[in-house]
């Protein structure tokens, strides 16, 4: 909390992990929620080349850890879910209007 009060960047990375990644690793839902409330990006990815977690965001990290220790990460996953963005939906292709059709002039 003290670094948030000092105005530090909640998305700063240390050794390839953000504070939110650490909150997930330690299954700390209160810390995760505080970070998310103060602007932590759950879609930021872990930058640790050569590690299994490299390129994972907080959601994916929680999922991976859940497979190793079922139940331990359920609460932190619920917190993350409250801050997830809805999946983008495919927009319907535009239907040409009659006025947009060109005629050959041989009508």
- Burial, 92: exposed, middle or buried (Cβ in 10 Å; 0-12, 13-18, 19+)? exposed
Query: pLDDT per residue over 40-58, tens digit each?
Result: 999 999 999 999 999 999 9
Model pTM score: 0.76
Distance, CA of 76 to chain centre: 13
State mean pLDDT over 24-53. Answer: 97
Sketch out the chain's domains with CATH numbers: 2-81 (1.25.40.20)
Provide the β-strand partners of residue 14: 17
Supply the DSSP symbol for 99: G
What residue has token string 């850890």?
65
Query: pLDDT per residue over 53-90, tens digit each?
Result: 999 999 999 999 999 999 999 999 999 999 998 755 44
Say how many residues make up the chain: 107
pLDDT recorded at residue 1: 63
Nearest in space to 27 (alpha carbons), one of 69, 72, 80, 83: 72
Nearest in space to 60 (alpha carbons), one of 94, 97, 93, 24: 24
**CB contact set of 41 (below 8 Å; sequence gap of 6+):** 11, 18, 20
């Amino acid at each position: 909390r003290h670094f948030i009060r000092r105005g530090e960047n909640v998305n700063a990375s240390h050794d390839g992990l953000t504070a939110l990644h650490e909150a997930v690793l330690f299954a700390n839902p209160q810390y995760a929620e505080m970070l998310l409330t103060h602007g932590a990006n759950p879609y930021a990815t872990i930058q640790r080349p050569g590690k299994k977690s490299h390129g994972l965001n907080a959601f994916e990290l929680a999922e991976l850890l859940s497979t190793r220790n079922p139940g331990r990460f359920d609460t932190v996953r619920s917190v993350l879910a409250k801050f997830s963005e809805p999946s983008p939906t495919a927009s319907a292709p535009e239907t040409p209007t009659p006025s947009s059709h060109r005629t050959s002039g041989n009508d």
